[in-house]
Amino acid sequence: MSYWESTGKSDEWYTPPWVFEALGCRFDLDVAAPVEGAFVPADRRISRDSLELPWDGFIWMNPPFGGRNSLVPWLDKFFRHGDGVALVPDRTSAPWFQGAFPQADLVLFTPKIRFIRPDGSEGVSPSNGTALFAIGPKGAVALTRMGGLGHGILAKPA
């Protein structure tokens, strides 16, 4: 997410704890975990080679946002897996977003989330909002809960 802020020093940003409190669930696996510093309530973590390793259970995915279309392999594997919540930028006009949106069971468009840097400081002002994709019933329940708490707009793809 370095492109969200002018520092550009690192792509390492952590989802703040309030997001997980609002989701109200625990994950079996964080498939894109930082080496250290994450707040994700997950029983297991994959920090490297996640796209090559098998995923199982109810997953959390906040993949590296990186360059153009870098989310495509992550989202492809996420939807094939079929059970979890994925956090992505809400770039609704991007082809990758338009391809992913109809595959989700539910989508929550959140207000701008101030992500946490590795040093513990909070980011200042992201340039765009975030979307959470749910696939499977546990993910849909979590997004419904978070949306019901006023943390965004729920959309059910047709």
For 56-93, write each residue's pLDDT tens digit. 999 999 998 776 678 999 999 999 999 999 999 999 99
Pair type for strands 27-30 and 59-61? parallel
Beta-bridged to residue 42, according to DSSP, are 27
- Binning the chain into helix, strand and coil, the percentages to the nearest 5 are 25, 20, 55
Is this prediction's pTM over 0.75?
Answer: yes
Contact criterion met (CB below 8 Å) for 75 and 86 = yes
For 116-157, write each residue's pLDDT tens digit. 888 877 887 677 789 999 999 999 999 999 999 999 999 999
Contact criterion met (CB below 8 Å) for 142 and 25 = yes
Res. 11: pLDDT tops 50: yes
For 34-60, write each residue's pLDDT tens digit. 877 678 999 999 988 999 999 999 999
